[in-house]
Amino acid sequence: MPDFLLPRHLLKSGRSATHSVAVQNDETSLTFADFARDTARWQQTFATLAGQRISLYDEDAYQLACMLFGAWHAGKTPCLPADNLPATRAALRDIVDAFADELSPGATPAGAPSFSELCDNTARLVLFTSGSTGTPQAIDKKLGQLGEEVATLARQWEAVLQGDPVVVLGTVSHQHIYGLLFRVLWPLSAGRPFERLRSTFPETLLHRLRDTPAILVSSPAHLKRLPDTLDWASASTQIAAVFSSGGPLDKEALQRCKSLLGQAPHELYGSTETGGIATRCRQHDDEAPWQVLPGLELRVEGEQLSLRSPHLPDAHWHTTADRIRLEESGFVLLGRNDRIVKLEEKRISLDAIESALMACGAFSAVKAVVLPGAREVIGIAALPTPQGWSELARWGRREFAARHLEALKSSIIAEGLPRHWRYGARFPADAQGKVTVARLLAWFDPRRPVWHQASRSTTEAQIIIDVDAALPDFAGHFPGAPLLPGVTQLDWAIRLGRELFDLPEHFIGVDNLKFQSIISPDSQVTLSFTHDTDRHTLTFAYTSGTLQHASGRLCFGAVPC
């Protein structure tokens, strides 16, 4: 059994009670003795509960680790939701018996804590898939599976990381399997300190990298958005290794990572269900294939991947929905079988739709989704290139969509042709940087206005909004003299501001809000933004021609007020 699974074992293997386990924002450290003590406090609390399943959510990785081990040692089954949103909590109430954030840890033990040995097969953890191909599903993991995966990571990379002590920094959440393993469990096992809070903003990450030799645990979405306006050269020499998971890193993001951080990331391929499967590092070869992780076996039938892995609950072959092509030096990912959907009893490949649209040259990224309803249809969420935005403005929405529909007709049957199109500056992503179906569907909410981009930089943007008379916001405002409500204008500014800029998680409030003239249905308005990255504010203004409609300054923060 890997020694990370038991707090008392953490004081062995060359580590002492004084060795650092987590680093706080004030630069002070917590030790393994602190970790054992705080784990015992949560064990006391959880042991008094009648129920079995406990939801654990905390943005502090150290607190999460203490609660996790405390639950295991109390004989409970911890559940890790992806977020703490009201809808998520409401759904969990039918699954869990308690929420850890509604409880308080017990009293500090008088002496050194003592723990019984945990069983690899009976101690369990419930995780949830990201929902990238549908509704998130609960995945039950045995403790032994987690231990095997940590051991795999150590075999693959521990020798690479030997040398000067480093701190583990992350831009991804530890509430998912990738962040949990790389930001919490593997560091605990290796005796390597980790940051308690993830680096939400590039500025925060850069500040920490300048001061601290580090390992960076990130994702393609976060690496792709590293601003080249910041001085990364001063920090790149501090980075021992970069890890990325959540999807393949595209070539643009790969080159950005090499240029700004001085190295290519170690990319991880796997899933919540399977655990890690393969890795690659494209430092010298952008086309380098994936290499299977040690201890795993792969086989391919047709193109479908099956594997046998110590990260799975048994020794049987597990068939995945992934398609691969084997090569002499590894394998290439070809997509997923489960992106085949049935519409009007016809099989439609979402991958094929996306590939055909990408070939048109008007988009930097495309996502095809099935829109629910009495009759299911295909919707397209796309990120136009500068040329694409220009064409959209010149031709109009109907003509722009019609031209791209025509390009699809040679390869996509009629039932698979998209019926609805939405455009944006970047896809909505979760804390892991993963784009989920649920978040994409929000783009098709009738309350989200149709808009196109006029100009955009890292701190400023101008977009043109079509104020359609059919918008539900006009209902009741007001019969005979319809106008766009002020609350809608504020909601649009917040919603679209988040699509355009990296902003803190919580909206704090609005200053200098002014409504100067009405916005009528079937009009067109310009919404302008200026982003103050230091103060985390977003100044906005609605105009049309020389007419001023509304303006204000939105304030955002890392925690709610």
In this prediction, residue 433 has a pLDDT band, given cuts at 50, 70 and 90, of confident
Q: How many separate domains does the chain show?
A: 3
Mean pLDDT of 310-333: 93
Q: What is the rounded CA–CA span in Å between residue 78 and residue 7? A: 17
> What mean pLDDT is predicted for residues 16-29?
79
List the domain range (segments joined by +) for residue 323: 3-336
Spatial CA neighbour of 127 closest among 142, 136, 138: 138
Q: Which of 391, 419, 440 is the last residue of a domain?
A: 440
- How many Cα atoms sit within 13 Å of 300 on the Cβ side? 13
Pull the structure tokens for residue 132: 């990238």
Rounded Cα distance between 44 and 66, Å, is 12
Question: What residue type is 308 in one-letter code?
Answer: R
Per DSSP (E only), the strands in 401-459 are 420-423, 450-456
Does one domain contain both 214 and 297? yes
Look at residues 370, 405, 440 and tell me which one is the last residue of a structural domain. 440
CATH number, domain containing residue 408: 3.30.300.30
Q: CATH number of the domain that 514 lies in? A: 3.10.129.10
Q: Tell me which of 2-11, 19-28, 194-203 is least confident.
A: 2-11
Looking at the structure, tell me whether residues 205 and 268 fall in a common domain: yes
User: What CATH number is associated with residue 323?
Assistant: 3.40.50.12780
Residue 413 CA: distances (Å) to CA of 156, 346, 513: 45, 9, 50
**Domain match, 169 and 290 both:** yes
Which two three-digit tokens encode residue 215?
């390992």
Q: What is the pLDDT of residue 345?
A: 63
pLDDT at 511 over 80: yes
Residue 390 confidence class, pLDDT cut points 50, 70, 90: very high
Q: What is the mean pLDDT of the chain?
A: 90
Residue 549: what residue type?
A: H
Stretch 170-190: mean pLDDT: 94
Residues 296 and 250 in one domain: yes
Peptide bond into 478 cis (omega under 30): yes
Distance CA 105, CA 101 (A): 10
229 plus 295 within the same structural domain: yes
Q: Are residues 246 and 305 in the same domain?
A: yes
pLDDT in tens, 447-473: 899 999 989 998 999 999 999 999 999
| Residue corresponding to tokens 């803190």 | 504
> Per-residue confidence at 561, pLDDT binned at 50, 70, 90?
very low
Same domain, 100 and 149: yes
Q: Which of 312, 69, 293, 63 is nearest to 189 (CA)?
A: 69
Over residues 98-156, the pLDDT tens digits come to: 999 999 999 998 888 888 888 889 999 999 886 555 567 899 999 999 999 999 999 99
Same domain, 75 and 201: yes
420, 440, 460: which is the final residue of a domain? 440
Classified as helix, coil or strand, 325 is strand
Tens of pLDDT along 244-264? 998 888 888 899 999 999 999
* Cross-strand pairs, 324: 333
92 lies in the same domain as 152: yes
pLDDT digits (tens, 9 = 90+) for 344-365: 767 788 988 999 999 999 999 9
- State the average pLDDT over residues 299-321: 94
Percentage of the chain with pLDDT > 90?
A: 68
Q: Are residues 428 and 457 in the same domain?
A: no
Q: Is the pTM of this model over 0.85?
A: no
Identify whether residues 309 and 196 lie together within a single domain.
yes
Tokens read off for 340? 């085949």
Which residues are paired to 444 by β-bridges? none
Same-domain check for residues 467 and 392: no
**Other CB atoms closer than 10 Å to residue 84's CB: what's the count?**
15
